[in-house]
Amino acid sequence: MDPQDTRSRLLDVAGQIFASKGVKSTTIRDIVQRAGANQAAVNYHFGDKEGLYAAVIEHSIRQACEECPFDGGVSPDRPPEERLEGVIHGFHRRILGPDSKNWRGLLIAREMENPSPTFLSVANKVFTPLEELLQAIIGQINPRLVNDEIWMQAHSVIAQCTFFCKMEAILQMTQPEFSRLDLEERIRRLTRHILRFSLNALRGQS
């Protein structure tokens, strides 16, 4: 097997297991057995489990952002309300779908709730542009906000998105009709709800 194929296979398999079990409960043996590789391959490509986990985190975040950019594909010359909708929609697309890569979203959601040092070191580089984009949009929606209010509002929007993404399992029990909707419809409804909620808060804050 080509070394690059082995590396990619280890990243994919490790990501699935890390997402389902968490990094502490995952062993190198779990990963190499499922990947059809050996520990020497992990050592060669990543050094150790922590190195592999860091590579999985960075790979997952960057791939998700490439497939669904932070702006959700909304042009910067559109009204700020539309741009905010694009950011919210894009967030849910990265975390909840597509289903074939849902382990990636689960891994990111798990880390956003209880971030590890590894995640923080990587996310600081990757997510800073998202926060800056949100702050710029929020500042346009309500120019009266000062700096502290702007970044807090930006994180409030992110928190709403993270909450609903992380609560998928609970929603399946408490809101079965909603959970039975197809992925795109769930994302659409969540996006519209968070957008309305956030706009009401932003416009009402003096």
**pLDDT tens, per residue, the chain with 206 residues:** 566 789 999 999 999 999 888 888 899 999 999 999 999 999 999 999 999 998 998 888 778 778 888 999 999 999 999 999 999 999 888 877 754 456 877 787 777 777 888 778 777 777 788 899 999 999 999 999 988 899 999 999 998 988 887 777 788 889 889 888 988 999 999 999 999 999 999 988 65
pLDDT of residue 102: 66
User: Domains (ranges, CATH) in the chain?
Assistant: 3-47 (1.10.10.60), 68-204 (1.10.357)
Fill in the amino acid letter for 60: S
**Contact indicator for 56, 18 with CB cutoff of 8 Å:** yes
Distances (CA, A) of 159 to 166, 167, 171: 10, 12, 17
Distances (CA, A) of 156 to 53, 115, 149, 191: 28, 17, 10, 14
CA 127 – CA 151 distance, rounded (Å): 13
Residue 173 phi, psi dihedral angles, 5° rounding: -90, -40
- Coil, helix or strand at residue 174: helix
pLDDT of residue 162: 83
